Chain A
């Protein structure tokens, strides 16, 4: 069971602990064992985590690429989730989906669900302006 990835010229991604940059032509890779994989578009830098939902994304991202400190990242995750739900209780459904994915260790799916949370948060904030 492998993951097939196609990189555009110059595109970057994280494979295991390594940051790799593609060369001048499109290339196709197959990652054959289970390591954390994140494409450039899925990576959130600390500066870009400027909203409550994005902070949750950052916490889940760390669970994925910094697995040696899982307990710490879980603590931060739950603190931020609690703050988020205090502000917007209606997000519980999405939060549950994210937490389920983390529980079984499917961090990639968890990150996809947090993206939905970010979109939901934008909806909520849009109503305020």
Chain B
């Protein structure tokens, strides 16, 4: 037996069904806190917001790469500092040997420290990459990969006991005290000191390049971090955007900035002198 609805009853039924649907939407919004929760609510803003979230995700991945590079460079810099300390020790041993009657012993100590340099250099890596072992790293700043920085690209030389940053440091035993009968050989000692100075200079240059690279990457990494936050929060706020509110907000912001004391930005003297001319 079929039940026929009168027009009035049908209208009531449709009204109740509509109300039920509205209640569900409201409950959904209350639960998630978002006015636009799916593509059906506001397709344009929903997909725009998704785009921003995806982009934030991509940038977060790039930032991880940058942080890795920073750790690798820091490990190399620490290694360089330690090697410089060792070279300085060797230098003072050599200097003492010039006026010592125990030069052979000092030469042996010199060689011991020299041999440790190779081990230290080999331990200056991070995550399998070692800038003191001839490795080159390439840090990518954007997705297409066309904005990147190569670290240690051209001067990628391994540091071992005999070859430090591309310079030679030879053994001392048999050189400090040489000849038959064995006698102190000051000329050889001076040569050794010269080699150490060259090595120290080369290491200093290498450290400067690495530090400059580190600073560039750090600035990019910080910028990327801010961008990820802005896109994530901004993407969420996008679904709350209301045109009229924005107009009122913008007017308020402009007034607040005009009355406020936060200055625009500190510019260097050079930049100020340029801007003042326009």
Chain A residues close to B by CB (< 8 Å): 12, 14, 17, 19, 40, 43, 45-46, 49-52, 55, 58-59, 62, 65-66, 68-74, 76, 78, 81-90, 92-93, 95-96, 99-100, 102-105, 121, 124-125, 127-128
Contacts and interface: CB of A to CB of B under 8 A. Distances in A.
Contact of B265 (A62, A82, A102, A124): A62
Contact of B219 (A74, A78, A87): A74
Interface stretch (B87-95, B123-131, B167-175, B250-258): B250-258
B230 A124 contact: no
B31 to A, nearest CB: 22
The interface residues of chain B, by DSSP majority, are classed as helix
A99 B142 CA distance: 11
Nearest to A90: B241
B142 A52 contact: no
B230 A78 contact: yes
B267 A124 contact: no
Contacts of B219: 70-71, 74
Contact of B147 (A50, A84, A92, A104): A104
B274 A62 contact: no
28 contacts: A12-B277, A45-B278, A46-B275, A51-B254, A52-B250, A52-B253, A52-B254, A59-B264, A74-B223, A78-B230, A85-B233, A85-B237, A87-B252, A87-B253, A88-B250, A89-B241, A90-B241, A92-B237, A100-B142, A102-B223, A103-B141, A103-B224, A121-B250, A124-B247, A127-B243, A127-B246, A128-B250, A128-B251
